[in-house]
Amino acid sequence: MGSGSTVLSLRMDGDLLERVRQHAAKRGMSVQDYVVRTLIRDDFDERFKAAVEETEEFYR
């Protein structure tokens, strides 16, 4: 992820936070770990999609 860590503060409404807490609890995770894992997964998906598009463009 990088050489260090940085603090990120998020503001969200109570309903969203409660849903995030429930999703995290189902996986036995803290809210922080759940949010970070979700962001990492989304970032991977974006990079993978871009790589697939580059490969498709290369072979056209």
Does residue 2 register a pLDDT over 70? no
pLDDT digits (tens, 9 = 90+) for 15-40: 999 999 999 999 999 999 999 999 99
Contact residues for 44 (Cβ-Cβ < 8 A; gap 6+): none
pTM of the model: 0.71
Q: What is the model's pLDDT at position 4?
A: 84
Q: Mean per-residue pLDDT for 5-14?
A: 91
pLDDT at residue number 33: 94
How distant, in Å, are the alpha carbons of 7, 34, 43 from that of 29?
A: 19, 6, 20
